Amino acid sequence: MKMIKTEDTTLAEPTLKRLNSYLTVGKIMLRQGCRQITCEQLANATNTETEMVISDLISNPRMASADKFIPMDELVVEIESILLRGIRETVIVAGTRERVGKLINSWEFGGYNFNIDAVFSLDGIPAHAMQYEMLENDQELTAWGETSSLTTAVLDASYDQAQLIADRLISLGIKHIWNFSPLVLVTVPGVIVENVIPGYPKWHCYQHNTMLS
């Protein structure tokens, strides 16, 4: 899949509106359990010409097939990265191994377009997180906190560990927590917690003035 180059900052409004339509359909269908879609199906769902969908999404439209399946999660994440126009929030991801592993691999998490600076887990780091700086114990987390100026964290921990890890992050200077954990956190004044409802990502940096009429 091509996806329009992310460095292209002069996309026409009709193109932005079509991309937004593809994204909306993709998110709805993912929630319904649909994991792939064809350009023809996407065209029907968005009331768009099939040729236009192919032109927007396929690297070589002349070689494209209207009935070739596109992975739905890739479609959603890649379109979102375009619409974000390079706006990325740098975070530390912290939690427990199983939950952090599932989170980083999820299409929902991809939609936030976070820039991950480091990953911390009390019970080991997931293998697919090794591309990031790994903090594998409390001492490494403390050392990271002494040199980092980050104030935002993503937390996804088990019920019994979420508050403990949140308190630790706050002690290191974290002021903003995206909470994917199954627990409402108790924090001190000045710390903002945004509780994320599973299945409903915020996709929070839309350029609303250009995409939505």
pLDDT in tens, the chain (213 residues): 555 554 444 566 677 788 888 988 988 888 888 999 999 999 999 999 898 888 888 766 667 788 888 888 888 888 877 776 655 688 999 999 899 988 888 877 876 778 889 999 888 777 777 778 889 899 999 999 999 989 999 999 999 999 999 999 999 999 999 999 998 899 999 899 988 866 544 433 333 333 332
Which two structure tokens, joined as six digits, stand for 199?
A: 């299945």
Q: What length is written for the chain?
A: 213
Q: What is the largest CA-CA distance in the chain?
A: 58
In angstroms, the CA 115 to CA 154 distance is 11
Domain locations in the chain as residue ranges: 13-85, 90-195
Is the whole model's pTM more than 0.75, yes or no? no
The domain 90-195 is classified under which CATH number: 1.20.140.10, 3.40.50.720, 2.40.50.100, 3.40.630.30?
3.40.50.720
Under CATH, which number does the domain 13-85 receive? Answer: 1.10.10.10
pLDDT of residue 158: 92
Q: Which two tokens stand for residue 29?
A: 């269908």
Residues 6+ apart with CB under 8 A from 64: 39, 54, 58
CA-wise closest residue to 25 among 53, 63, 55: 53
